[in-house]
Structure 1
C-alpha cells in the first residue's frame, strides 16, 4: 500500500514538473505579447490618424537589433519636457496613441514611443536583456538630439514598461530628470504566483515564502523591487486601486522600498483605476499629478534658473547669519 506521505510527495513532484514545463515552454509568451489575439503585428494606425506631428525613428540597439520608434511633438519647435513612454506587455505602441494624444495636450510635452524588439516594426525577439538594451538606445538617441531640451527627459512606464523604465532610470542618473511608473509589479517572480497560484510556493520574489526552487528557470525576472531602491531621481507612483492584473499592494511595496532611500517619491492612487484605464478613469487629477511632477522636476530653463538663484540667495543669507553669530 502506498503511504499517504508517498502520495503527497508524488503530488508535489508532479506540480514541480508541471511548473517547470510551463516556465520553460511558455514564459516568453506569458510575459511578452507583441500580437494581440485576432490582430497582426503591424500598427493598426499611425499618429497621422490622430493629426499628430511625428517622426519615424530607426535605431540600432547595442547588439545590432534594428528598432522602430515614433517621436511625437506637440509642435515642431516644442522645447517642453520629453517623455520616453514604455508600454505594457501586450500589443504595440499604436494601441497607446489615444492616451499619448491627451498626454501631449495636457502636459505640453514631446513623447518618444519605442517599439521593443519583436514588437511593431522592430526586429528581433523580446527578452529582458534585449529590451534593457533597447531602452538605452532610445535614451542615447534623445540625448544626442539638438531639437529638444535634453535636461528635461522624463521616463514613463506602465506595467512592464515600469520595470523597463526603472532599469533605465537607475542606470542613467545624469540623463533622466525623473521617473513615472504606473501599475507596475514588484517582479515577474511575484506575478507568476498571482497568475498561476499553484506555483506560488515554488516561485516568488525576495519577500515570498517557500523554497522558490523554480526561480532559476525564469529568464525575465524583471525584479523592479530590487531596482527601485537604487534610483536617485524623483519618482511618481500612479496606482489604480481596482487593478485586476497587478495587485495594488505591489505598487505600495515599490513605493515603500523607494521612499526608504529616496525622499523625492510621491504616491498617488486612483480609487476606480484599473490596470489599463487609470489614465482615463483618473480624470483631471491624474493629469494634474503628472503636470505638477514635471513642473517640479523638469522645469523650464527660466524656472530652473530662478530656482537656482533663490537657492543661492538663501545660502548667502544663511552664511551671513552664521558669520554674524
Structure 2
C-alpha cells in the first residue's frame, strides 16, 4: 500500500514538474500572441481602408530591431494631443483601427500606433526587455517631430499595453504629459494564477500569499503595481466592470497604489465594459471622460499662453 501511494505521489509530482517546465519553456508564447488563431501575422487592412490620413513609420529599437508603426493624423497641421497607443496582447495594430478612427474624430487628436517586435510588420521576437526598448524608440521618434505639439504627448495603454505604457511614462517624466490605462493587470505574476489557477501557489505578485518559488523563472513579469506609484504625471484609469480576462480589482489596486502618492489620478468605471470593448460599451461617456481629462491636463498651448498674457496684463495694472 505504501509503495502504491509513493508511486502515485511520484507520478503526480512528475506530471506537475513536467507541466511547470513546459510553462516556463513556452511562457513567451503564453504571454505574447502576435497572431490570432486562424489569421496571418500580416495586417488585414491599413488606415487607408478607413480613409485615414497616415504615414508608414519605420524605426530602429536601441538593439537594432526594425519596427513598424502608423502615424495617423486628424489633418496635416493638427496640433492637438498626440496619443502614443499601445495595444492589447492578441493580434496587431490593424485590429484596433476602427477604435482609433473614432478616437481621432472624437478627441481631435493624432495617434501613433506601434507594432511591438514580433507583431505585424515589425521584426524580432517579443519580450519585456525588448518591448520596453521598442516603446522608448516610438516616444523618442515622436519627441523629435516638428509637425506636432511635443508637449502634448499622451500615452494610452490597454491591457498589456497599459503595462508597457506605465513603464515608459515612469521613465520619461519630461516627454510624456499624461497616461491613460484601460483594463490593465497588476502584473503577469498575478495573471498567471487567474488564467491557470493551480499556478497561484507557485507564482504571484507582491500581494500573493503563496510561496512564489517560480517567480524567478518568469521572464516577462510586467509588474505594473510596483511602478505605478512612481509615476508623477496625471493618470486616467478606465475600468470595464465586465472584464472577462483581467479581474476589475486589478485596476482598483493600481489606482489605489497610484493615488496614494499622485493627486492627479482619476478612476472611471464602465458597468458593461468587457476586456476588449469598453470603448464601445462606454459610448459617449467613454469619449467625454477622456476629452475632459485632456482639457484638464493637456490643454492647448494657446490657452496657456493666453492665460499668461492675461496675468501679465493684470499685474501691469
Q: Deviations over 1:83-132 (max 9, x none)?
A: 00000010000000000000000000000000000000000000000000
Aligned residues: 315
Please report how far the alpha carbon of residue 25 of structure 1 lies from its aligned counterpart in structure 2 after TM superposition.
2.4
- Aligned residue for 1:260? 260
- Aligned residue for 1:323? none
- Aligned residue for 2:213? 213
Alignment of 1:163-174 (within 5 A): 163-174=163-174
Q: SS state of the match for residue 302, structure 1?
A: helix
Q: SS state of the match for residue 236, structure 2?
A: strand
- Aligned residue for 1:2? 2
Q: SS state of the match for residue 58, structure 2?
A: strand
For residues 3 and 309 of structure 1, the distance between their equivalents in structure 2, rounded to whole angstroms, comes to 88
For residues 260 and 4 of structure 2, the distance between their equivalents in structure 1, rounded to whole angstroms, comes to 47
Q: Is the 8 A contact 1:23 1:217 kept in 2?
A: no
Alignment of 1:310-325 (within 5 A): none
For residues 4 and 278 of structure 2, the distance between their equivalents in structure 1, rounded to whole angstroms, comes to 49
For residues 312 and 227 of structure 2, the distance between their equivalents in structure 1, rounded to whole angstroms, comes to 33
Please report how far the alpha carbon of residue 297 of structure 1 lies from its aligned counterpart in structure 2 after TM superposition.
1.1
Q: Does residue 45 of structure 1 match 2:28?
A: no
- Aligned residue for 2:240? 240
Call closer, same or farther: CA 1:149–1:214 in 2, change over 3 Å.
same
Can you give the 5+ residue segments of structure 2 that lack an aligned partner in the other structure?
Answer: none
Please report how far the alpha carbon of residue 2 of structure 1 lies from its aligned counterpart in structure 2 after TM superposition.
2.4
Call closer, same or farther: CA 1:310–1:292 in 2, change over 3 Å.
farther
Q: Is the 8 A contact 1:20 1:214 kept in 2?
A: no
Q: Does residue 298 of structure 1 match 2:286?
A: no
Please report how far the alpha carbon of residue 78 of structure 1 lies from its aligned counterpart in structure 2 after TM superposition.
0.4
For residues 13 and 310 of structure 1, the distance between their equivalents in structure 2, rounded to whole angstroms, comes to 74
Alignment of 1:36-115 (within 5 A): 36-115=36-115
Q: SS state of the match for residue 2, structure 2?
A: coil
Q: Does residue 289 of structure 1 match 2:289?
A: yes
- Aligned residue for 1:321? none
Please report how far the alpha carbon of residue 20 of structure 1 lies from its aligned counterpart in structure 2 after TM superposition.
2.4
- Aligned residue for 1:192? 192
Call closer, same or farther: CA 1:211–1:78 in 2, change over 3 Å.
same
Please report how far the alpha carbon of residue 225 of structure 1 lies from its aligned counterpart in structure 2 after TM superposition.
0.3
Please report how far the alpha carbon of residue 14 of structure 1 lies from its aligned counterpart in structure 2 after TM superposition.
4.2
For residues 308 and 202 of structure 1, the distance between their equivalents in structure 2, rounded to whole angstroms, comes to 57
Alignment of 1:96-135 (within 5 A): 96-135=96-135
- Aligned residue for 1:322? none
For residues 66 and 242 of structure 1, the distance between their equivalents in structure 2, rounded to whole angstroms, comes to 37
TM-score normalised by length of structure 1: 0.92
For residues 143 and 279 of structure 2, the distance between their equivalents in structure 1, rounded to whole angstroms, comes to 27
Name the stretch that deviates more: 3-12 or 26-35.
3-12
Call closer, same or farther: CA 1:206–1:52 in 2, change over 3 Å.
same
CA root-mean-square deviation: 2.1
- Aligned residue for 2:25? 25
Call closer, same or farther: CA 1:287–1:8 in 2, change over 3 Å.
farther
Q: SS state of the match for residue 26, structure 2?
A: helix
